[in-house]
Amino acid sequence: MAGPQPVSAPAAAAESTPRLADARRVIVKIGSALLVDDATGAVRRDWLDRLADDLAALRARGQEVVIVTSGAISIGRRHLGLTGRRIRLEQKQAAAATGQIRLAHAYSETFARHGITVAQILLTPEDTEARRRHLNARATLETLLGLGAIPVVNENDSVATAEIRFGDNDRLAARVAQMISADTLVLLSDIDGLYTADPKRDPAARHIPVVPVLTPEIEAMAGDALPGYSSGGMVTKLAAARIAVGAGCRMVIAQGARANPIAAIEAGRPCTWFLAGGGPKAARKRWIAGSVKPKGVLVVDAGAARALLAGRSLLPAGVVAVEGRFERGDPVVVRSAEGRDLGRGLSAYNSGDALRIRGHHSDEIAGILGYRGREEMIHRDDLALVEETQ
Ligand code: GLU
């Protein structure tokens, strides 16, 4: 393995494409358009079998898998003879009630080929938003995963009322990811990711492989003006991305219409990754690591270097040298005595004071400086190690 990169590396590393192989807990969202044959209303078993093969391979590598699937309504309506273009809400709910059985059966059969048990979970928004029910749903999902099953989740369309529905499974999948702290959300779609404009209309539209941060520019790309996109549309996919990345879960939009769509992501076929936000603390660390110009250097001894890597703050006692001129709150590089950059942080002392208290125990600070400053030279929340920001 290569040694730690210089501190200037994180910005570049953040652009690099994540790998599915690194995922611990993966949510895979499967839309009706992929799963259900439009003409017959039947499950596309060949496609589903290939997908199940891919997911069984993830499981065999020790990765946990949760499926969020659509299709209940579109399967069920054929069986109930509801063939008109527009059907009423109660008819949709009736369709879901019969379609869900067939849907669950298809998943159960396809995973049985791999000796994997599936378990059906039907959720309404209350189950993911209301705290007590949230805890219940989470406990059930965790238990199933612990027992080696693959939970197959859908909205409880038959009882959810119009006002309290997710309405689209992109958002439902993101809520599930948030609820069980998944690290990766895969949205299988009829398009291979996000483009700067609708590629069906605009030949100059560019595919975007990685979205490090959801900016207003990115949100604008989904527009309402991209009708080529599938059921939920790009708008709901970006809404899902906002929920997922905000919860520290990265998300990928990938083409699902091909056979073995998960293997295709791993093989590097085009898709769009949204990098995980990791919450405000992580965002602050990325900012410290990437966007500020260091004003000086604190050289630390081996004991301090070990403490930092173990997640502790940098104390004056561990600082052996102070270089450069900086004010309190300025970014500085933290370097090992061997010259290896360990990270960057915001110094709690200016360079003059840092020089005077270096090597001293924190209890001595007030005696040396004549005022009681912070115990730490750099608090751990103000410290972005190369390791944690790569
Ligand atoms: N829950 C709906 C169904 O199973 C689908 C919602 C969606 O397509 O996003 O039919």
Q: Please answer whether residues 272 and 185 qualify as being in contact, where contact means their C-beta atoms are separated by less than 8 angstroms.
A: no
Tens of pLDDT, residues 236-259: 899 899 889 988 899 999 999 999
Tens of pLDDT, residues 135-156: 788 889 999 999 999 999 999 9
260 lines ligand 1 (CB under 6 A): no
Tens of pLDDT, residues 200-236: 888 899 999 999 988 888 888 876 544 433 345 788 8
Q: Please answer whether residues 83 and 59 qualify as being in contact, where contact means their C-beta atoms are separated by less than 8 angstroms.
A: no
Is the pLDDT score of 389 beyond 70? no
- pLDDT band at residue 105 using 50, 70 and 90 as cut-offs: very high
**Rounded Cα gap, residues 207 and 197, in angstroms:** 9
- Which residue, judged by its Cα, is nearest atom 5 of ligand 1? 70
Q: What is the mean pLDDT of residues 311-321?
A: 95
Name the residue of 69, 155, 190 to mutate for ligand 1: max ligand atoms within 8 A of Cβ.
155
Q: 5-9, 181-185, 230-234, 315-319: which has the highest mean pLDDT?
A: 315-319
Question: DSSP labels for 19-55?
Answer: -GGG-SEEEEEE-HHHHB-TTT--B-HHHHHHHHHHH
184 lines ligand 1 (CB under 6 A): no
Residues facing residue 211 across a β-bridge = 274
CATH of domain 285-388: 2.30.130.10
**Residue ranges of E strands in the chain:** 25-30, 64-69, 118-123, 150-155, 184-189, 194-195, 207-208, 210-211, 250-255, 271-274, 296-300, 319-324, 331-336, 341-346, 383-385
Q: Please answer whether residues 315 and 362 qualify as being in contact, where contact means their C-beta atoms are separated by less than 8 angstroms.
A: yes
32 lines ligand 1 (CB under 6 A): yes
Residue 113 has a pLDDT of 98
Is the pLDDT score of 292 beyond 50? yes
53/235: higher pLDDT: 53
Q: How many helices (H) and strands (E) does the chain have?
A: 16, 15
Residue 11 has a pLDDT of 39
153 lines ligand 1 (CB under 6 A): no
Domain coordinates in residue numbering, the chain? 10-278, 285-388
Q: What is the pTM of this model?
A: 0.69
353 lines ligand 1 (CB under 6 A): no
Q: What is the mean pLDDT of residues 342-349?
A: 91
Q: Tell me how far CA of residue 32 lies from CA of 48, 65, 217, in angstroms.
A: 12, 19, 29
Which DSSP state fits 378? B
Is the pLDDT score of 165 beyond 80? no
Tens of pLDDT, residues 60-98: 999 999 999 999 999 999 999 998 878 888 899 999 999
Residue 44 has a pLDDT of 97
Tens of pLDDT, residues 113-123: 999 999 999 99
Q: What is the mean pLDDT of residues 106-131?
A: 90
Q: How far is the CA of 218 from the centre of ligand 1 (A)?
A: 26
Residue 217 has a pLDDT of 85
Average pLDDT, the chain: 86
Q: How far is the CA of 96 from the centre of ligand 1 (A)?
A: 9
Q: 120-129, 280-289, 326-335: which has the highest mean pLDDT?
A: 326-335
Q: What is the mean pLDDT of residues 176-187?
A: 92
Q: Considering only 52-66, 155-169, 262-276, which range has the smallest mean pLDDT?
A: 155-169
Q: How far is the CA of 41 from the centre of ligand 1 (A)?
A: 14
CA-231 nearest atom, ligand 1: 8
Q: 20-24, 100-104, 219-223: which has the highest mean pLDDT?
A: 100-104
Residues facing residue 384 across a β-bridge = 344
CA-76 nearest atom, ligand 1: 10
175/108: higher pLDDT: 108
71 lines ligand 1 (CB under 6 A): yes
232 lines ligand 1 (CB under 6 A): yes
Residue 163 has a pLDDT of 61
Q: How far is the CA of 169 from the centre of ligand 1 (A)?
A: 6
Does CATH place domain 10-278 in 3.40.1160.10?
A: yes
233 lines ligand 1 (CB under 6 A): no
- pLDDT band at residue 390 using 50, 70 and 90 as cut-offs: very low
Name the residue of 32, 121, 171, 230 to mutate for ligand 1: max ligand atoms within 8 A of Cβ.
32
- Which residue, judged by its Cα, is nearest atom 2 of ligand 1? 70
